Amino acid sequence: MLDLKQIRENPEKVQELLDRRNSDQYQIEQIINLSQQQRELETTRTELQTRSNEIGKLIGQKIKSGSDPAGDEIKTLKAEGNELKTKLGKLEPEEKDLKAQISAAILELPNLPAQTTPIGKSEAENVEVRRWGDEYLPENNDSILPHWEIGEKLGIIEFGRSVKIAQSRFVSLIGAGAALERALINFMLDRQIAAGYTEVMPPALINTASLTGTGQLPKFAEESFQCQDDDLWLIPTAEVPVTNLYREEVLEASQLPIYHCAYTPCFRREAGSYGKDTRGLIRLHQFNKVELVKIVHPDTSEQEHQSLVKNAEAILQALKLPYRVLELCTGDLGFSAAKCYDLEVWLPSSGKYREISSCSNCTDFQARRASIRFKEAGKKGTKFAHTLNGSGLAVGRTMSAILENYQQPDGTVRIPEVLQPYLGRKIL
């Protein structure tokens, strides 16, 4: 959530930053107008309340000094007081309604891009920061089968029967496929715990307040699966429940930074993506992911962002999977992010790098929505924390990359060395 005070005091700057997202849907004029109405109404209400209080005191003073409680003077004052109470009774709900309209309008606005975020209109203008693992690129991409084909040939991925028990874009992993997925999850968690993260196993169902706190609601309701009879939604990512563990809390500064990692299944409707990645493990309605979440002091969030990206990269490096790092431009930023780096792994069958992790610094945007604050020792007041999150990694996409990059001419797939102790085998 953006700061209303910032919008009021620097409307031109806020609008300029929103415009960098390359969308004319984000306008603050309505908020400025509603805010002005609310402040004028608040001023009027304060003046009426002050006069009402004065009348109450005046009546008491006059009666105490000998005025007739039933006299005309007291009656006149009481009549004025009653009239003021009637006006106040009408103003209070109007002011409450204006505040609700302002809050609803602000919830629709995305985070402001960081000053250092590259300005661009679309993903075509994202900036490549670095590449890693060129020495591990397969020699002949043309002979490599897509991961879904090699997976079905090996009997470890089942698409057809999954459609029967659910619908398209669901998958079942069989035998060594299920074991490989589980091995990847355990490997990723072990590595991130060793890097200083505390593991969390959160609920897979969350309430509306949680999705609002991290920015998925109200704008992106169509992307999530909702339980019709309860105020519960299936999680789109562990970022939501893990960040919201601290919703509406005031932390001590000494508790920061907080590092969490979490394995969860993730559920997304993928609305608007019809026709994209209809085959394979890239874009499913249900998939597994290990998520990294940080809650940090604002002074360290940029440094923490860089280290979070390194934590995600470390998994790809350990698996010896070629990848590149992209810095997203303003036109491709996620709703809650001020700055974001994507990790893209090499998929040789398509000859492309594909996203496998998105690492975002949300600054105080989610903390304002979820009211996550901290208090520094010896100082008055509280401040909003900064929240960061990133995939460490998307498990199905990691499996896809292994099936393609480690594919052998005889149709088998080698297991990366770091996974062999988890699986107890070297070949699929």
pLDDT of 82-93, one tens digit each? 888 888 888 888
Q: How many angstroms separate the CA atoms of 68 and 74, rounded? A: 7
Q: Tell me what pLDDT residue 273 has.
A: 58
Q: Flag whether 272 is in a domain.
A: yes
Task: State whether 140 and 274 are in the same domain.
Answer: yes
The amino acid sitting at 323 is Y
Mean pLDDT of 317-345: 98
Q: Which residues are catalytic, by number?
A: 268, 283, 355, 358, 397
Q: How many domains does the chain have?
A: 2
Domain range for residue 332? 123-423
Mean pLDDT of 93-101: 91
Domain harbouring 70, CATH code: 1.10.287.40
Angstrom CA distances, 140 to 62, 137, 320, 347, 412, stand at 99, 9, 17, 12, 16
Task: State whether 161 and 298 are in the same domain.
Answer: yes
> In the structure encoding, which two tokens stand for residue 81, read together?
């007081």
The amino acid sitting at 44 is T
Q: Is the pLDDT of residue 247 over 80?
A: yes
> In the structure encoding, which two tokens stand for residue 13, read together?
């700057």
Task: State whether 98 and 127 are in the same domain.
Answer: no
Task: State whether 103 and 145 are in the same domain.
Answer: no
Q: Flag whether 220 is in a domain.
A: yes
Q: What value, to the nearest 5°, has the Cα angle with vertex 48 and ends 44 and 51? A: 140
Residue 195: other Cβ atoms inside 10 A: 17
Q: Flag whether 118 is in a domain.
A: no
Of 72, 107, 142, the one marking the end of a domain is 107
Residue 36: other Cβ atoms inside 10 A: 12
Task: State whether 48 and 149 are in the same domain.
Answer: no
**DSSP assigned state of 277:** S
Task: State whether 178 and 80 are in the same domain.
Answer: no
Using CA atoms of 179, 185, 186, 192 in order, give the dihedral in degrees to the nearest 10.
160
Q: Is the pLDDT of residue 204 over 70?
A: yes
Mean pLDDT of 28-57: 89
Of 107, 141, 158, the one marking the end of a domain is 107
Q: Flag whether 276 is in a domain.
A: yes
> What are the φ and ψ backbone dihedral angles of 191, each rounded to 5 degrees?
-65, -40
Percentage of residues in the chain having pLDDT higher than 90: 79
> In the structure encoding, which two tokens stand for residue 181, read together?
């997925």
Q: Flag whether 113 is in a domain.
A: no
Task: State whether 32 and 145 are in the same domain.
Answer: no
Q: Is the peptide bond before 218 cis (omega within 30 degrees of 0)?
A: yes
Task: State whether 127 and 85 are in the same domain.
Answer: no
Q: Flag whether 116 is in a domain.
A: no
**266-322 tens-digit pLDDT:** 999 986 555 676 688 999 999 999 999 999 999 999 999 999 999 999 999 999 999
pTM: 0.90
Compute the Cα dihedral for 296, 301, 305, 310 and give only its sign: negative
Q: Flag whether 428 is in a domain.
A: no
Nearest CA among 307, 306, 325 for reference residue 316: 325
Q: How many angstroms separate the CA atoms of 231 and 274, rounded? A: 28
Task: State whether 355 and 224 are in the same domain.
Answer: yes
- State the burial class of residue 213 (Cβ atoms within 10 Å of its Cβ: 0-12, 13-18, 19+): buried
Task: State whether 101 and 147 are in the same domain.
Answer: no
Residue 78 binned pLDDT confidence (cut-offs 50, 70, 90): confident
Q: Is the pLDDT of residue 235 over 90?
A: yes
**2-14 tens-digit pLDDT:** 999 999 999 999 9
Q: Flag whether 16 is in a domain.
A: yes
Domain harbouring 218, CATH code: 3.30.930.10
What are the start-end ranges of the E strands in 270-402? 286-296, 323-327, 339-347, 352-361, 372-375, 383-384, 386-394
> In the structure encoding, which two tokens stand for residue 121, read together?
């209109």
Mean pLDDT of 157-169: 91
Residue 23 binned pLDDT confidence (cut-offs 50, 70, 90): confident
Task: State whether 170 and 304 are in the same domain.
Answer: yes
Residue 33 binned pLDDT confidence (cut-offs 50, 70, 90): very high
> What are the φ and ψ backbone dihedral angles of 251, each rounded to 5 degrees?
-90, 160
Of 48, 72, 107, the one marking the end of a domain is 107
Task: State whether 201 and 309 are in the same domain.
Answer: yes
